[in-house]
Structure formats: structure tokens, C-alpha cells
Amino acid sequence: MKFKKDAIKIIEILKKYYPDATCSLDFTTPFEILVSVMLSAQCTDERVNKTTPELFKKYNTPETVAKADIREIENIVHPCGFYKNKAKNMIACSKMLIEKFNGIVPDNMEDLQSLPGVGRKSANVIMLEAFHNPQGIAVDTHAKRISNKIGFSKEVDPEKIEQDLLKVFPKEYYYDVNHLLVWHGRKTCNARKPNCKECPVNEYCDEYNKKNRHLNIPVLFILYVFGFYYFKSL
């Protein structure tokens, strides 16, 4: 696992490389980001942003969603995948918000995770984006991949990866880490074709350095053999 000073250096470099890194989901209220995060499970933010304008025209409060016909919600969110489960969670979550929280999205991790369809990753995003009070680091597919490649964590489970990240990043860096790992995963360290040569933090990346060491072995061997016979011929 990375030392804290290296982890912070990596984030400082990424901050300069991605100065506009921020949340890519479109929302205007805590309830809208809650719904958007629900829809983003196994779905791209781009697709969610194409779906929510129609959804939020009619259903943008817990009260309107709680009274909605589930079939209509299903039809609207269908493009986001797993639409039946997402529609069910949206309605159940809205009813709980009304019954337990006076229709207000709670601003703490414990209450957020008590809502249907909201796990720790989603709660982290809501705390960050809706309340500007990050309590942890949301580990999505990008954050997971980057953390493993760079060497922040060797774990596979997102919650265990988050715990490793929290060991090396002070709380004042939570805001940046949440956004930068996602942006780096989308724009440079792509899952299918990572652009390692252009990566601004490749010198700190365990996987990149490991590959380079393996590539350098044949070169060093050739240079050794060439040097041996060259000096032998003198």
C-alpha cells in the first residue's frame, strides 16, 4: 500500500491535470441526487442524465414519487437498466423519507444507509454532493480499478478498498479523491485501453512500473551480451 506522502502527491498531481473534476450527475436538490445515484448503479452517468429530465418533470420530490404508478416510473427509468428494482426502491425510499424523515433527505451516513436502495457508496456520494460534507470515499468501478493499479489497495471488496484509502488520505482530501479517481479512470486509465504513457502519475503506479521492469529485462540482457562480446574482442 502507498505511503501517505505518495498518495497525497498523486492527488495533487491529478488536481492540476483535471482542474474541472466534479460530479457528472445533473441534479438540483438532495432528493434528485439521491434518485440519480440510485439510477447510476450498473449504468453510466451519461445515460442517467438523459433519463432524469423527463423523470424530474413530474417526479422530483418524495411525495410525488411515493404516489406514482410504479409502471410509469419503470417506463421512464427503463434505459438505465434493472428498471423494475430501481423503480421499486425509488418508491419505497420515498415512502420511508416521508414516514421517518418528514420528506427530507437525511444528512448523515447511518440514516442514508437505512433507505431502500442506498448502500455505503451511494451514501458517500450523497453526503459529498448534496451536503458538501464527505464522510468517506465512494468506491465505484473506476476508483476500484485505479486503487488496485496504483497500489492504494490490494483488496477487491469496495468497502475494504475504501478503508485502505481512508488510511492514506486525510479528511481534507476526501472531496478531491472522490472526483479525481473517477475522472482519471474515465479519461486516462480507461478499463479497456489505459493510456499509461500519457498518465501524469505513471511513475507512482505499481502496475505501470511492474510492466516496465519486465520489459526492461530483455533490453538489459541484450546490452549485457553486446558489452561482453565487444570488450572481449578488444
Q: What is the pLDDT of residues 76-108, one digit of tens each?
A: 999 999 999 999 999 999 999 999 999 999 999
28 pLDDT above the threshold of 90: yes
- pLDDT computed for residue 211 by the predictor: 85
- pLDDT computed for residue 185 by the predictor: 96
Q: Could you tell me if 92 and 66 are in contact, meaning their C-beta atoms sit under 8 angstroms apart?
A: no
Whether the predicted model's global pTM rises above the 0.95 cut: no
The string of DSSP letters for 29-49 reads SHHHHHHHHHHTTTS-HHHHH
- Mean pLDDT for 208-214 is 82
Q: At what angle do helices 158-168 and 120-129 cross, to 10 degrees?
A: 50
Distance CA 78, CA 127 (A): 27
- Mean pLDDT for 210-233 is 58
The string of DSSP letters for 164-204 reads HHHHHS-GGGHHHHHHHHHHHHHHTS-SSS--GGG-TTGGG
Residues with a known catalytic role: 121, 140
The fold adopted by the segment(s) 4-22+139-187 is Endonuclease Iii, domain 2 (1.10.1670)
Distance CA 106, CA 112 (A): 6
Q: Which three cell numbers stand for residue 222?
A: 541484450
Q: Look up residue 137 and give its DSSP letter.
A: -
The highest-level CATH class for domain 30-129 is: mainly alpha
129 pLDDT above the threshold of 90: yes
